[in-house]
Every structure is written in structure tokens, then in C-alpha cells.
Amino acid sequence: MPLPALSLLPRPVHQKPGGGRFTITAATTLSFAPGLESVAAWLQGAVRPATGFSLMADGDPGDISLLLDPGLGGEEYVLDASPGRVEVRGGDAAGVFYGCQSLLQLLPPAIYRAAPVAGVRWEVPCGTVSDKPRFGWRGTMLDVARQFLPKREILRFIDLMSAHKLNTLHLHLTDDQGWRVEILRYPKLTEISSWRLETQLGAGADAPLDGRPHGGFYTQDDLREIVAYAAARFITVVPEIESPGHVQAVLAAYPELGVHGPGLEVDTRWGINYNVLNAEESTVNFFINVLDEVMDIFPANWIGIGGDECPRDQWLADPRSRERAAELGLARVEDLQNWFIGRLDQHVSGRGRRIFGWDEILEGEISPTATVASWRGMTGALTAARRGHDVVSCPDHLAYFDYRQSEMATEPIPVAIPLDVAGVYSFEPVPEGLDAGLAHHVLGGQANIWTEYIDSPRTLDYMAFPRLCAMAEVLWGPAEKDLESFLLRLQAHLPRLEALGVEYRRESGPFPWQQRPGIKGRPSTPEERAAHIAEITANIRD
């Protein structure tokens, strides 16, 4: 079947091919309305490397003109290409930016190369595209705690997200195995918590360790740079600081914050960790001070406070934790988790921001503004929206990109159930059974890229692409699915990824990974996964 004339990915709301072609040459000029200076500069920067052309701002209107149109909504755009002229109109600067991203996709894939390409005619097929996103939260979570990802790789990933019209980067900055954000008040978080002695290879408690220290962190200046770089591409960076579980890295540096006491190292193994925070006032204050510095770095409305997978065993076994629960008037020692999240919620809300937490936070009282990431299937999404909370849907079986992509032995260390491109494409962020009147609570969704088994940028590319292309279409494109059209446009899109140097997973191989002898994965069947999720969501009440 021939490729559609306008092979845009994600699929636009409406497109009408016209006749003829618009050609970009060294003489092509660009004009732009006030307020669009940075979008224009971005477009010039995006076109110059491969074409060698500058898109001079010389005369108004230019051959390509960028305009604001008050008749369009936020993020909405209309791209009109005729043989003599291209016009991109947006409801706001973000809309114009997305129109420019579509314009790049209409050019030959070589436009994404980083140095001049000879012999290419830089032609755009004429036509009109009218487009706007379905959801406002089109996200990706990057777990930079399990494996440190150098800053330049995050910047590159931001560019790749923006090429797919994604707009939210959730940075998972802390976990048992590493702390990645400089906190000026607590220097041991970077001196000690951001390094671990070695890393578990593969899955299972008996998995071998590699004997190689691993670590790294981002300075506050690095993070401000990431935030600004993302903002220039209309991407919001939502930081996440885990608590009251997933904190062993903190406890290695500040053992007074934990129930365990001294003697813990930054964790070298994967899995749910039993070492949790204690419930002292000084511990809450430590995390409030951390969040204050984090909120100074990240202007996002949302601040992630974690909240997932906090085993209660240590609190139950610890006399001081039991005493503290009684002091606080809690009905059960287990409620220390909800109390802790509630305290952080009060503080973050008091500063005019909103907490963003995993769906376990539904077990306690949370502010009306608290936003819930539904990860244990869609149960949390349904419950949260019914209780009036905003929701970001990221059910593990459709949105976890650490999950293996096939049953083949050539996948990198395979975990969990298979999730392929078509599986991601089938994802519907609005939970079944939700009243239409509550659907506005579903802000959108995100792919979660956990990195226990993703130890290099190359593996990250392989796990992220092209599944992230499918996620982008789910979150941007119209609700009606058209897998055949998507797969066809994906064929046209893969050469763009190739030009960008993305090491995406090719259906037909070659597969760069051969499993190393002695290193096990953790594959499971859909039935095993369903049973596990049913067990761990038992606490979510309707």
C-alpha cells in the first residue's frame, strides 16, 4: 500500500492533501509574529544543519510565516502549504511549535541529519493540516535513579519527545539505588547517596553483581538547564522525590531518617526494599527542605512525591514507630505512610503546587489538587477520577517500557509480560466505566521507562522506540484508533528516527543483545501479572 501523502506521526485531527510542492532553498525567507521569536529561532536551528539554509528573516510575510491565531485553542495549529508559501498558525506559541514539528515531518527524513546532505530536494507536499492534541499530559517518565543518564542524553531525549509532540518529562530522580539531584542543604545526598558500589545484573535475589561502582548526579545548574531546554520545546519537567519508601540511598547518607539505623549502603539490588523512613518530625522537615530546593529549581505545577511500594514491616516491628503512630492518633501503624504523604502534600500545596504521586496515595487523605499516576492497571485511574482527582494513566501492562517486547531470547534482559508497539497503541487513557462527566479528570498518560535493566543510552533507545511513537499517537491523536494507518505512517517515520540516530528496535532485527550466560530475566505470563496486580491493588477502595 502506498504511504499517505502526509505521513504525520502522531496522526493529526484533520489533513487535506493539496496539489504541488513547496521547496525550501537558500533563498527561502521566514517571518514570525511577535511572541514567536524563540519558535522561529528553533525552526531555523532545526532546518539549518541538514540543508545548510538559514531561513532568513527578510520581509513580511516570508515564504514561511509563523502566526498566532486567536481563533485557535492552546496547542492547536493549522499548517497550510501551497507551492508559493507555507503558513503555520497556532492558538499559542506551543501550537505554532507543533505546526513547525509537522512541517519538519513533511520534509524528507534527511532533514533530521546533523550536517548538510547533498542531492536532496527539500520539498514539502502541499496541503492543509488542522490539528490539536486530545490530552494535555503527554508524558514520559525517565528513571534516572536506577541508572544515571548523563545530562546530554536527557537533552537528546527531550528533543526526541518534542519531535513526537510529547509535553511532559517526569524525572524519577531518587530511589533506593541512587539520588541524582544536588541539594545544597544536604551535601551527603550527592557525596554518598548518588553512588553505589556495584549493580545487580539481571533479576532475582541470587543475581550476580558486576563489581563496578556506578553513580552520578545533576547539579542545580544542570537541572535548570534541562528545565529551560525542555521549556523551549514546550515540555514541562516534573521532578519526583520518592518517599517514604524507595529511600535506601538517602538512608545510606542520613541513617537518622530511617527505622533501620546505621549500616545501610546505597542499594545494589533491584526489587521492593523494606528500609523506609521513620516518622519523626525531623524526617518530615528534611524532606520538606529537600522539596523546597526542588520547587526552586522546577517551576512545574506538579511535584512528584512518590508514595509507591512502601512496605509497612519495619514500622510494625519497631516500638518507636508504633509509639509515634499512637502519638499522632493514627488508627493503624500502617497509616504512617498516608500521614507522611499528607504532610508533604500540605507543604507542597501551601506553596501553590500540586503533588503528583503513584496510585498508592489514594489509600490516604490527599488534597483535591493531588494528581494520581495510575500504574497498577487502571483501577487507580477510575477510583481517583471518581473521587475528583486528576489522573495520569500509565497502567503497567500498556505503558511500562521496561517490559520485554517479545518472547524472543534476543531481547535485552527480559522482564514482565510482552508489550509490543501494537499493545501500546491499544492503550486507552480514560478508564472503562468512568462517567463521561468525569473524563476531564484524565489529564492524559505517560510511558514509564524504568531502568533497572536499561543500562545504556543505546538500550534506552531500543526500549523506548518505536513504542514511544505509539504512545505519542495515543496521547495526541484522535480517540478513534486506526492501527493500520499508524503502522503505515510508522514505516514513513522510522527513516526519521534513523536520521536522528535513534537505535530503535527493528521488527526484523538485527538484535544487538544476546543474553549473557548466567544472567536471568524475570519474564512472566499475563495471568501471573494479572494475579499480582489484583493482590497489590486490594487496598484501593472504590
DSSP type of residue 417? S
Rounded distance between C-alpha atoms, residue 169 and residue 77, angstroms: 22
- The enclosing H or E element of 174 equals strand 174-175
- Nearest CB to ligand ACM, comparing residues 87 and 175: 175
Q: How far is the CB of 358 from ligand ACM (least distance, A)?
A: 5
- Nearest CB to ligand ACM, comparing residues 112 and 401: 401
Residue 452 contacts ligand ACM per CB under 6 A = no
Rounded distance between C-alpha atoms, residue 388 and residue 464, angstroms: 32
Quote the cell numbers at residue 381: 485511574
Q: Is 92 a catalytic residue?
A: no
Give the x/- contact pattern for ligand ACM in 300-339, rule: CB under 6 A: --------xx------------------------------
Q: Which residues, at least 6 apart from 124, have a Cβ–Cβ distance to it below 8 Å? A: 21, 22, 23, 24, 81, 86, 103, 106, 107
Catalytic residue among 63, 131, 309, 359: 309
Q: How far is the CB of 307 from ligand ACM (least distance, A)?
A: 9
Rounded distance between C-alpha atoms, residue 96 and residue 165, angstroms: 12
Residue 363 contacts ligand ACM per CB under 6 A = no
- Nearest CB to ligand ACM, comparing residues 225 and 308: 308
Q: How far is the CB of 396 from ligand ACM (least distance, A)?
A: 7
Q: How far is the CB of 240 from ligand ACM (least distance, A)?
A: 10
- Nearest CB to ligand ACM, comparing residues 182 and 309: 309
Q: Is 246 a catalytic residue?
A: yes
DSSP string, 470-485: HHHHHHHS-SS--HHH
Give which of 139, 147, 153, 142 is closest to 454, Cα–Cα.
147
Residue 358 contacts ligand ACM per CB under 6 A = yes
- The residues with which 258 forms a beta bridge, in sequence order, are 277
Give the x/- contact pattern for ligand ACM in 219-258, rule: CB under 6 A: ----------------------------------------
Q: Is 327 a catalytic residue?
A: no
Rounded distance between C-alpha atoms, residue 338 and residue 357, angstroms: 12
Catalytic residue among 164, 170, 246, 389: 246
Q: How far is the CB of 517 from ligand ACM (least distance, A)?
A: 29
Rounded distance between C-alpha atoms, residue 302 and residue 349, angstroms: 10
DSSP type of residue 83? T
SS3 215: strand
- Nearest CB to ligand ACM, comparing residues 75 and 309: 309
- Can you give the binding site for ligand ACM, defined by CB under 6 A? 308-309, 358, 375
What are the catalytic residues? 175, 246, 309
